[in-house]
């Protein structure tokens, strides 16, 4: 059991101070700006909730929201099962584990602004490896004009970039399972599916929840990688939430971009809240089982 | 029964496919980095060459970009880890008023997209005088690195039996001294994993890196951006990218056994 003592605050105080500087103060500034019409930063007029009204009423916001939601759902549906599957496939033996993990994690080390470039290069029908292979089959990817294919490229790119993180998290979850569990399952004659369902999956719950949270939020607010593929096109089909915000900031629309930031932060809070709820449900389930 | 026999083969096949998928763009990148892509007096486009790598070394901007990236990385780890260790200890061993809410706030900051906070962070950091320097990036990256570090470290600390703490306290150790002499040696793998994750999220980040370094202190990712222009030497761009991945690859190789032994993810 944990000690009940408020001296715990002393230990977390440095972290609170640091996050106040880099997180809380900027956040309060953004909230403040979102209520003003700002031409230059020294000259501003209080306009209350007008920016919020504009954004909430605009079709553009809701269609970006819907696109981001669909994109994140697809990302989770593809990357989480794939990540779990790959983690389960990693062979035993120190050498192979090290080699496989090191190879699998390489995409995580590429600078983010290079990722769209690498993928566009790869898909180039004349010079790219994948483009050439597809050209010999007579296929071509048209990421400029076809919305579905732009989506496919961005999804493939995101899957390439981030599934490794899911694999790392899941694999670390799997290694916390004692071998005696597997031996017991073997004696009971459990098949691979039953082992997965009743031993591996329950042990993966916590890391999976973390993987889902990180993947959901990062894909929901995808910016650096998605924009260079087709600048939000064709005709706005890949304008995601963060791309809209990026455009506002580039145009120096301080007020609207601040209001947009606050709305996005409220989304973040909601997701974080759902996450902690899910975690406490898992914890009470576990306590109920062990007691 | 046939399924059970086919399973190992299926596993290897799936894994091989995934690894091919994971390294295919990197293979093309590496190949391009050894090719002349901008013809000069004594070389033709398409020739094999090491000139791209030599050009990294001879370009002072690129050289300083590597120094900047490594500098802000190290500063970030030196800020994040010492701040995260006591916090992780607090969350894992003590329950205090508002601990759950505070943990929730930390998670919320971790998943806040950097683009939301770019403008005020730029203003605040200008006021503090840390823009255009590696220190600014190092500080800004604490926004996502600190929460994740606390989270990972807390899992490692919670795995140590509480009796260890209690024995030390009976022997008259204060809590800070206990953390220093007993806890730290035990969570070295945890610190290594934490530092690796800080590196991984920070090394490749571009949103803060872009707004905080308009004139000076540019990291590698921004130095790559600066290479694009009227005549872009794609071979050089690829060579810089390959070179930028080398420190990470080395770390990954050194860390492989810690990562494979698994790290724990804590809860409050």
Tell me the per-residue pLDDT of A85-132, one tens digit each, with 9 for 90 and over: 999 998 887 788 888 888 898 999 998 888 888 888 888 877 788 888
Are B90 and A261 in contact (CB < 8 Å)?
Answer: no
CATH number of A171's domain: 1.10.3720.10
Same domain membership, residue A201 and residue A154: yes
Check pLDDT > 60 for residue A291. Answer: no
Q: Provide the pLDDT for residue B265.
A: 62
Q: Is residue B22 part of a domain?
A: no
Q: Is residue B1 part of a domain?
A: no
Same domain membership, residue A279 and residue A211: no
Nearest to B155 by CA among B90, B82, B92: B92
Same domain membership, residue A139 and residue A27: no
Q: Is residue B155 part of a domain?
A: yes
Contact (CB, 8 A) for A204 and A174: yes
State the Cα angle at A126 between A122 and A128, rounded to 5°: 15
Residues with Cβ within 8 Å of A138's Cβ and at least 6 positions away in sequence, in order, are none
Say how far apart CA A183 and CA A124 lie, in whole Å: 50
Q: Is residue A150 part of a domain?
A: yes
Q: Among residues 11-70 of chain A, which lie with CB inside 8 Å of chain B?
A: 11-12, 14-16, 18-19, 21-23, 25-27, 29-30, 33, 41
Range list of H helices, B213-263: 220-227, 234-261
User: Which pLDDT band, with edges at 50, 70 and 90, does A290 fall under?
Assistant: low
Residues A1-46 pLDDT 10s? 677 888 888 889 999 999 999 999 999 988 888 888 877 767 777 8
Same domain membership, residue A156 and residue A257: no
Q: Is residue B268 part of a domain?
A: no
Helix (H, G, I), strand (E, B) or coil at A3: strand
Backbone angles phi, psi at B59, to 5 degrees: -90, 115
Using DSSP bridges, classify how beta strands B94-95 and A3-4 pair: parallel, antiparallel or unpaired: parallel
Q: Is residue A246 part of a domain?
A: no
Helix (H, G, I), strand (E, B) or coil at B209: helix
Q: Is residue A109 part of a domain?
A: yes
Domain count, chain B: 1
Contact (CB, 8 A) for A117 and A228: yes
Nearest to B25 among A104, A118, A249 (CB): A118
Q: Is residue B27 part of a domain?
A: no
Q: Is residue A93 part of a domain?
A: yes
Q: Is residue B35 part of a domain?
A: no
Q: Provide the pLDDT for residue B87.
A: 93
Which residues are paired to B43 by β-bridges?
Answer: B40
- The long-range contacts involving B36-39, CB below 8 angstroms and separated by at least 24 positions, are B36/B235, B37/B233, B37/B234, B37/B235, B37/B236, B38/B231, B38/B232, B38/B233, B38/B234, B38/B235, B38/B236
Chain B closest-CA separation from residue A243 CA (Å): 9
Q: In A, which residues are within 8 Å of B241 by CB distance?
A: 110-111, 114, 118
Q: Is residue B76 part of a domain?
A: yes
User: With a cut of 50, which residues of chain B have pLDDT below it?
Assistant: none
Q: In A, which residues are within 8 Å of B252 by CB distance?
A: 101-102, 105-106, 109
Q: Is residue A2 part of a domain?
A: no
> What residue in B sits closest to A282 (Cα-Cα)?
B267
Nearest to A263 by CA among A220, A224, A211: A220
Say how far apart CA A276 and CA A270 lie, in whole Å: 10
ipTM of the complex: 0.85
Q: Provide the pLDDT for residue B263.
A: 64
Check pLDDT > 70 for residue A187. Answer: yes
Residues A48-67 pLDDT 10s? 788 888 888 888 888 888 88
Q: In A, which residues are within 8 Å of B221 by CB distance?
A: 111-114
Q: In B, which residues are within 8 Å of A100 by CB distance?
A: 15, 19
> What residue in A sits closest to B138 (Cα-Cα)?
A22
Same domain membership, residue A208 and residue A164: yes
Q: Among A142-151, A152-161, A196-205, B83-92, where is mean pLDDT lowest?
A: A142-151
Q: The tokens 């779990």 sit on which residue?
A: A84
Check pLDDT > 90 for residue A83. Answer: yes
What is chain B's alpha carbon radius of gyration, rounded to the nearest angstrom?
23
CATH number of B97's domain: 1.10.3720.10
DSSP codes, A162-197: HHHHHHHHHHHHHTTS-HHHHHHHHHTT--HHHHII
Could you tell me what percent of chain A has a pLDDT over 90? 15
Q: Is residue B39 part of a domain?
A: no
Q: Is residue A188 part of a domain?
A: yes
Domain that holds residue B226: 60-261
Domain count, chain A: 2
Q: In B, which residues are within 8 Å of A175 by CB distance?
A: 260-262
Same domain membership, residue A189 and residue A144: yes
Tokens describing residue A38: 């700002």
Are B256 and A102 in contact (CB < 8 Å)?
Answer: yes
Domain that holds residue A176: 66-236
């Amino acid at each position: 059991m944990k000690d009940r003592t408020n001296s715990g605050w002393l230990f977390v105080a440095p972290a609170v101070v640091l996050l106040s500087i880099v997180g809380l103060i900027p956040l309060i500034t953004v909230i403040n700006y979102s209520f003003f019409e700002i031409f230059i930063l020294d000259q501003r007029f209080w306009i209350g909730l007008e920016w919020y009204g504009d954004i909430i009423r605009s079709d553009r916001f809701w269609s970006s929201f819907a696109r981001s939601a669909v994109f994140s759902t697809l990302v989770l549906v593809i990357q989480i099962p794939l990540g779990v599957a790959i983690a389960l496939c990693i062979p035993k033996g120190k050498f192979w584990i090290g080699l496989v993990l090191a190879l699998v994690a390489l995409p995580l080390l590429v600078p983010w602004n290079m990722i769209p470039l690498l993928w566009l290069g790869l898909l180039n029908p004349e010079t790219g490896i994948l483009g050439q292979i597809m050209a010999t089959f007579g296929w071509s990817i048209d990421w400029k004009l076809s919305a579905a294919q732009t989506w496919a490229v961005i999804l493939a790119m995101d899957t390439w970039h981030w599934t490794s993180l899911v694999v790392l998290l899941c694999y670390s979850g799997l290694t916390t399972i004692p071998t005696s569990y597997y031996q017991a399952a073997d004696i009971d004659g459990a098949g691979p599916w039953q082992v997965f369902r009743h031993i591996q999956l329950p042990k993966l719950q916590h890391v999976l929840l973390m993987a889902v949270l990180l993947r959901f939020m990062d894909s929901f607010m995808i910016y650096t990688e998605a924009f260079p593929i087709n600048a939000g096109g064709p005709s706005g089909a890949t304008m995601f939430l963060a791309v809209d915000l990026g455009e506002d900031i580039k145009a120096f629309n301080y007020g609207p971009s601040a209001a947009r930031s606050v709305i996005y932060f409220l989304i973040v809070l909601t997701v974080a809240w759902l996450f902690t709820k899910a975690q406490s449900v898992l914890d009470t389930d576990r306590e109920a089982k062990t007691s | 029964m046939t399924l059970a026999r086919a399973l190992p083969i299926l596993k290897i096949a799936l894994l091989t496919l995934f690894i091919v998928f994971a390294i295919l763009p990197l293979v093309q990148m590496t190949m391009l980095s050894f090719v002349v892509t901008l013809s000069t007096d004594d070389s033709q486009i398409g020739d094999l060459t090491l000139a791209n790598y030599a050009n990294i070394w001879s370009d002072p901007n690129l050289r300083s970009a590597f120094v900047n990236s490594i500098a802000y990385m190290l500063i970030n780890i030196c800020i994040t880890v010492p701040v995260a260790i006591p916090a992780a200890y607090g969350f894992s061993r003590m329950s205090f008023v508002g601990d759950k809410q505070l943990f929730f706030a930390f998670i919320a900051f971790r998943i806040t997209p950097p683009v939301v906070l770019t403008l005020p962070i730029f203003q605040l950091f200008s006021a503090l005088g840390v823009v255009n320097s590696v220190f600014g990036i190092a500080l800004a990256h604490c926004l996502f690195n600190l929460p994740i570090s606390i989270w990972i470290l807390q899992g490692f600390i919670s795995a140590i039996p509480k009796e260890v703490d209690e024995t030390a306290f009976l022997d008259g150790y204060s809590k800070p001294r206990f953390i220093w002499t007993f806890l730290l040696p035990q969570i070295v793998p945890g610190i290594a994993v934490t530092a690796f994750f800080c590196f991984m999220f920070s090394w490749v980040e571009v949103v803060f890196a872009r707004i905080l370094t308009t004139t000076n202190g540019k990291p590698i990712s921004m130095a790559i951006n600066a290479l694009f222009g009227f005549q872009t030497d794609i071979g050089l761009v690829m060579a810089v990218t390959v070179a930028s991945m080398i420190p990470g690859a080395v770390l990954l190789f050194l860390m492989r056994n810690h990562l494979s032994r698994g790290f724990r993810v804590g809860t409050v």
